[in-house]
Structures are given as structure tokens and as C-alpha cells.
Amino acid sequence: MRRLLAAAPVAVLLVLATACGSSSNNAQPAPTGSAVFEEASPSAAATGTTGAPATQNTGGGNTQAQWPSPEDCVSYNPGNVKSRYEAGIWVIVDGTIEVMRLHGGPSDNVGEKGLALAKRFKQHCYLGRHNTREEKYSYIFDYWRNPSGQNPAIADQEDDCSGYKKNNLTVENMGSGQGWRVKDHDHVLHLFDNETDARNGKLVLSKYDQICFIGNPPDSNEGQDQVSYEL
């Protein structure tokens, strides 16, 4: 801020002018405000699409979004979920809302595991649910939001889950129209239809240490009969 000088006799001003000379090194006034520059997240800049991870303002400054945006989620009441079986498919429902479908036999505990998983959350979310690939369901990634506060045990996690190092995750273009994948070195965690989905998948996977699968891969590609979750 500039400092204001009190009025002074002309003679005094002339003396000061003579003493100071004609120097041009006077400091310029400092800006009255500060410019703030925000750098787009690498994932958003790389894709330039609305499906890329967005930036949120949480009140403490701008940070990368904690979850993909926009999200594709099915909301349900975990207190109402039930399982039913028909013709090789276990379906977990909340009334008329289908939470998930799982491929398995009538004596398998697939329905029990799916029911336990559904009770833990209030939303089942997807990446790539609307892709048009021939093997569509191989390119759909599941994740779960809004914990219900319940934590029922999910059987067989030692067999259904595999660990990974979340700080080593990379996004890779498989080339030749084969899509993208997220992996930890040589451990491929999941396939994705496009780069945006893959980067959003990495965003989700980077919160966890294990990826798990419930249900057996179906012989046909008529429905998503296997789901994943993260621990």
C-alpha cells in the first residue's frame, strides 16, 4: 500500500528532490490481491470428459474428488434386502430394486455372500455399465458407497479376494481396440472400456488393498452374474 506524505514547504521538497536525484529504482506498489491458479487433476486433463474425476471444494481448499463424477449408482435400503434363486442365478433385491445378480448353483453360498455384501452399504455403483462391447460384462466395474453401519461377515474372502499395492497402480491401454486395464505391476485388477473409466477405476481402487469377486463367470454374456467389491 502506498504511504501518504504530509504536506511540506516547497523548499523542503526541493531539497529532498535534489538529495534523491533522478533514480528510477523506486519499488512498485505490491498487488492488492493474490492470484490463485488451480491445476486440473492429471486424470481430468488426460480425458477432458465429464466422466473424469472432478475437483471438489471441501472448505479447506481444492482437492481431487474422492469418487468418480458423475456416478452411476443404484440406491437401496440395506435393511430390506433379500436373496432369491432361479435357474442358476442368485438375485439380491430390495423390493423391486435389483441390487445385484450372481451366477451360482442352488447349494452354493453365493446368495448368502451377496446378501452380506449388500447389507454393508446403501449404494451399488458401476463404471462402464453402458458399454457396447461384445464381452460387455467383463468391462463393468463394481464399487460400493455409503456404508450402512452393518458389517456382516462375507464367507470365503480368503479365496475370493486378492491383495495389491495401491501405490503401484497403473492405467494401461491394451491397444487394438481391446480397452484399458488397471494393474499392480503384472497383477491385472480389472478391464475397462475406455481411459476415463480406467482412471476412475484407479481412483476407486487406490482407496483399498484388496479386490474381491462373488459369483462364477457365466457361460454366456447375457447378464452381469459376477460382482466385485473392495476391501
The pLDDT confidence band at residue 218, using thresholds 50, 70 and 90, is low
Residue-wise pLDDT for 126-139, tens only, equals: 999 999 999 898 99
The distance in angstroms from the start CA to the end CA of the chain is 55
Residue 176 has pLDDT above 80, yes or no: yes
Q: What is the pLDDT of residue 226?
A: 84
Q: What is the pLDDT of residue 9?
A: 42
Residues 132/219, Cβ–Cβ less than 8 Å = no
Backbone angles phi, psi at 142, to 5 degrees: -105, 145
Residues near 83 by beta carbon (within 8 Å), at least 6 away in sequence = 90, 91, 92, 93, 111, 112, 114, 115
Q: What is the pLDDT of residue 187?
A: 97
Note the helical H segments in 91-189.
110-120, 157-160
Q: What is the pLDDT of residue 230?
A: 96
Q: Output 34-42 pairs: Cβ under 8 A, ≥24 positions apart.
A: 38/62, 41/65
Residue-wise pLDDT for 52-100, tens only, equals: 444 433 333 334 569 999 999 999 999 999 999 999 899 999 999 999 9
Diameter of the chain measured on Cα atoms: 107
* CB-count exposure of residue 139 (10 Å: 0-12, 13-18, 19+): buried
Q: What is the pLDDT of residue 51?
A: 46
Q: What is the pLDDT of residue 190?
A: 96
Q: Using the 8-state DSSP alphabet, how is residue 188 labeled?
A: E
Closest by CA to 108, choosing from 151, 160, 143, 144, is 160
Give the span between the Cα atoms of 230 and 142, in whole angstroms. 9
Question: Greater confidence, 30 or 66?
Answer: 66
Residue-wise pLDDT for 151-162, tens only, equals: 999 999 999 999
Residue-wise pLDDT for 102-124, tens only, equals: 988 899 999 999 999 999 999 99
Q: What is the pLDDT of residue 65?
A: 62
Give the span between the Cα atoms of 98 and 89, in whole angstroms. 13
The pLDDT confidence band at residue 172, using thresholds 50, 70 and 90, is very high
Closest by CA to 228, choosing from 191, 193, 198, is 191
Give the span between the Cα atoms of 231 and 166, in whole angstroms. 11
The pLDDT confidence band at residue 223, using thresholds 50, 70 and 90, is low
